[in-house]
Amino acid sequence: MAAGIRLFMVEDDEVIREATTIGLERLGYQVDSVDDGLEGLTLLRTMQAEDPVDAVLLDVMLPTMNGTQICRELRSFSDVPVIMLSARSDGIDMVTGLDAGADDYLAKPFDLQVLDARIRAVLRRSRPAGQPQAAPEASAVQGLEIDPHRLMISLQGQQIHLTPTEMRILLMLSRDPGVVVSRGEILTEVWGYSWDSDHRIIDVHVQRLRRKIGAERVETVRGFGYRLLGSIA
């Protein structure tokens, strides 16, 4: 089922890199990998311009350039889905990685089946066919123009670039402005899974969305979730 899906992994731990590559290839993925951060970024620049990969797996701690730095540079020229991998469990790597533009985060050691599910989830979010249900017509909410068909967002006539994950969150919130959407609902509909109890991954993506469309447009309802403020014009 994963046939034809090409992954690029940057991981300096030889045991993890080889075991993960073998496991993913058995599931049908095509996997290219390197063990150095700067080399990884250099190859990604070339591949995304000539023969793009479908998703990237980035270790956080790497020689020459760490995963967070790679992700930040990668976002300047590509929206390819990125999953960060880290041995740290304190949440710092998750927040910094997501804030740099990663789509998801997985702590080591991880189960191969969980990684497979996360890869499939980010791929669904990166493709228009997998977008959440949206209002049938273009609309404007508090000056924010939303066109769900063309996947275009503009503010005061200026187009705003959103990542696929940010777009899906906004489309979900815009279906019914003023109504609170829980973090669990967002996780299930946008991420495609519901077993992760750490909702900080949602909070970081919403923070990035706020920076782009204006913090005043998305309200946090403590203990529940988020809502888009304003009414549809």
Closest listed residue to residue 162, CA positions, set 208, 207, 130? 208
pTM for this prediction: 0.77
Domain end marker among 104, 126, 148: 126
Confidence of residue 96 (pLDDT cuts 50, 70, 90): confident
Same domain, yes or no: 117 and 137: no
Q: 95 and 108 in contact (C-beta within 8 Å)?
A: no
Asked if residue 89 has pLDDT above 70, the reply is no
Per-residue pLDDT, 28: 95
- Find the mean pLDDT for residues 88-101: 79
Q: Quick one: average pLDDT of 63-88?
A: 92
Write down which residue in 97, 126, 155 finishes a domain: 126
Cα angle for residues 165, 168, 172 (degrees, 5° grid): 145
Same domain, 73 and 173: no
47 and 13 part of one domain: yes
Q: What is the reported pLDDT for 128? A: 55
Same domain assignment for residues 197 and 157: yes
Task: Report the share of the chain in percent with pLDDT over 90.
Answer: 45
Number of structural domains the chain divides into: 2
Looking at residue 151, which CATH number applies to its domain?
Answer: 1.10.10.10
Residues 150 and 110 in one domain: no
Q: Where in the sequence is the domain holding 161, given as residue range(s)?
A: 131-228
Residue-wise pLDDT tens digits, 181-220: 999 899 888 887 666 556 788 888 999 999 999 888 999 9
Q: What is the DSSP letter of 24?
A: H
**What is the reported pLDDT for 154?**
87
Q: 75-84, 92-101, 140-149: which has the highest mean pLDDT? A: 75-84
Q: What is the CATH number of the domain that holds 117?
A: 3.40.50.2300
- CA proximity to 126, closest of 70, 79, 57: 79
Who has greater pLDDT, 231 or 121?
121
Q: What pLDDT is recorded for position 137?
A: 59
- For residue 83, is it within any domain? yes
Are the beta carbons of 128 and 225 closer than 8 angstroms? no
110/177 same-domain check: no
Mean pLDDT along residues 58-87: 93
Q: Is residue 25 in some structural domain? A: yes
Mean of pLDDT values over 116-141: 68
Q: Domain check: are 80 and 175 in the same one?
A: no
